[in-house]
């Protein structure tokens, strides 16, 4: 049984296979057909934080695939407070076919995976956001035709979204540069892991405190909120620390003329990104948001769909001259 907890756990081949499947399922749906690959299956969705995209895209993904999803709000579950994470994992495993969880502490995701007897999907923690990264890669592939050799620039907080983005870029051969203010960089461990993946794929990682350096000649410019969920009390300090890290027309002017702009959303317009960029010709943010659903279908099918059984070898006919039974 596999979980989907970190991009780091998946090989480039597996990630490419999931991107191909997402692309295929998206095209099939556009032609008017959903395949009931997960008929009768139910996804339990545990949320400790608010969500628009993750909640609705997983719910719709399950419906399109012939299954269903159950939303479990922060107040209902009280993960780790009303009941231990291990107990929640074991109880839910008796009811649902897979668990998707959005938690504060990444340890809660790891504990769920340890104790559940069904696949667990990480719907964002304080460490990473792998579902987002798969949708980001799908969007880049759709817009640019490839990831390998592209320059992806991330401007802002070296936090959960940047972590998974670095790892998927490094796995799939895209060069990654990140500009964060001092004190808000990706952790050395995340960067070191990314360095191993980049060495294997032949891509480069650049770390800087200068957004202009990061964005120079970029094919993709990415940003995220300066204040993530759970950090609201730091909002003012962060606003000061991140001044100068806004993705605006001036900064975007340093990227390639055909660069695309991505944002995981929700956006804080006027802070990390301007209205002009969000709504401008380079923006791919709403395609990216829709792609959460298509990418997650591929994750769900990868984890849950029955693998086709290999046909048993046919026995040779017992006597010479006897016709083998006709195949039905």
Looking at the annotation, which residues are catalytic? 102, 129, 132, 224, 264, 292
According to CB under 6 A, which one of 48, 160, 274, 296 is a site residue for ligand NVA? 160
For residues 141 and 295, the answer to whether their CB atoms sit within 8 Å is: no
Q: Considering the rule CB under 6 A, would residue 154 count as an interface residue with ligand NVA?
A: no
Distance in Å, CB of 103 to ligand CP, minimum: 13
Distance in Å, CB of 295 to ligand CP, minimum: 12
Distance in Å, CB of 50 to ligand CP, minimum: 7
Q: Considering the rule CB under 6 A, would residue 288 count as an interface residue with ligand NVA?
A: no
Which is nearest to 207 in space by CA: 224, 220, 190? 190
For residues 106 and 127, the answer to whether their CB atoms sit within 8 Å is: yes
- Looking at beta carbons, which pairs linking 269-275 to residues 24 or more positions away fall under 8 Å? 271/225, 271/226, 271/239, 271/242, 271/246, 272/155, 272/156, 272/223, 272/224, 272/225, 272/226, 272/242, 272/245, 272/246, 272/247, 273/223, 273/246, 273/247, 273/248, 274/246, 274/247, 274/248, 274/249
Q: Identify what 66 binds: ligand CP, ligand NVA, none; CB under 5 to 8 Å per kind.
A: none
What string marks each residue from 111 to 140 as x (binds ligand CP by CB under 6 A) or -?
-------------x-------x--------
Q: Identify what 159 binds: ligand NVA, ligand CP, none; CB under 5 to 8 Å per kind.
A: ligand NVA
Q: Considering the rule CB under 6 A, would residue 57 count as an interface residue with ligand NVA?
A: no
Please report, as residue ranges, which positions from 124 to 143 form the binding site for ligand NVA (by CB under 6 A). 124
Strand partners, 222: 154, 262
What string marks each residue from 43 to 62 as x (binds ligand CP by CB under 6 A) or -?
--------xxxx--------
For residues 156 and 144, the answer to whether their CB atoms sit within 8 Å is: no
Q: Considering the rule CB under 6 A, would residue 229 count as an interface residue with ligand NVA?
A: yes
- Which of residues 47 and 115 has its CB atom nearest to ligand CP in the complex? 47
What are the Cα distances from residue 142, in Å, to 16, 81, 138?
Answer: 13, 42, 6
Q: Considering the rule CB under 6 A, would residue 58 count as an interface residue with ligand NVA?
A: no
For residues 147 and 175, the answer to whether their CB atoms sit within 8 Å is: no
Distance in Å, CB of 243 to ligand CP, minimum: 24
Q: Identify what 225 binds: ligand CP, ligand NVA, none; CB under 5 to 8 Å per kind.
A: ligand NVA
Those residues whose C-beta lies under 8 Å from the C-beta of residue 27, and which sit 6 or more positions away, are none
Phi-psi region of 3 (alpha: psi -120 to 50; beta: other; left: phi over 0): beta
Q: Which residues bind ligand NVA (CB under 6 A)?
A: 124, 159-161, 224-225, 228-229, 264
């Amino acid at each position: 049984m596999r979980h989907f907890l970190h991009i780091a756990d998946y090989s480039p081949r597996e990630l490419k296979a999931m991107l191909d499947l997402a692309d295929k399922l998206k095209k099939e749906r556009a032609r008017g057909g959903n395949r009931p690959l997960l008929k009768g299956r139910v996804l339990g969705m545990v949320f400790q934080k608010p969500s628009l995209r993750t909640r609705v895209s997983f719910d719709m993904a399950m419906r399109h695939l012939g299954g269903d999803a159950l939303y479990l709000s922060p107040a209902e579950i009280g993960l780790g407070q009303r009941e231990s994470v291990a107990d929640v994992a074991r109880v839910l495993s008796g009811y649902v076919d897979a668990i998707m969880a959005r938690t504060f502490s990444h340890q809660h995701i790891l504990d769920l995976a340890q104790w559940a007897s069904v696949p667990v999907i990480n719907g964002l923690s304080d460490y990473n956001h792998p579902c987002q990264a798969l949708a980001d890669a799908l969007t880049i592939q759709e817009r640019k035709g490839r990831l390998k050799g592209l320059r992806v620039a991330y401007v802002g907080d070296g936090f959960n979204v940047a972590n998974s983005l670095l790892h998927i870029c490094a796995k799939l051969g895209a060069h990654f540069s990140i500009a964060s203010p001092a004190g808000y960089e990706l952790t050395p461990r995340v960067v070191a892991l990314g360095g191993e993946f980049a060495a294997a794929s032949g891509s480069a990682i650049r770390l800087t405190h200068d957004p202009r350096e990061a964005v120079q000649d970029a094919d993709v410019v990415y940003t995220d909120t300066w204040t993530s969920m759970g950090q609201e009390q730091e909002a003012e300090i962060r606003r000061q620390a991140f001044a100068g890290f806004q993705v605006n027309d001036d900064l975007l002017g340093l990227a390639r003329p055909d660069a695309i702009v991505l944002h995981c959303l929700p956006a804080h317009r006027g802070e990390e990104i301007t209205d002009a960029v969000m709504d401008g010709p380079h923006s791919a943010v709403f395609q990216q948001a829709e792609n959460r659903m298509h990418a997650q279908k591929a994750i769900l099918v990868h984890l849950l769909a029955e693998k086709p059984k290999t046909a048993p070898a046919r026995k040779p006919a017992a006597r010479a001259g006897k016709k083998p039974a006709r195949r039905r």
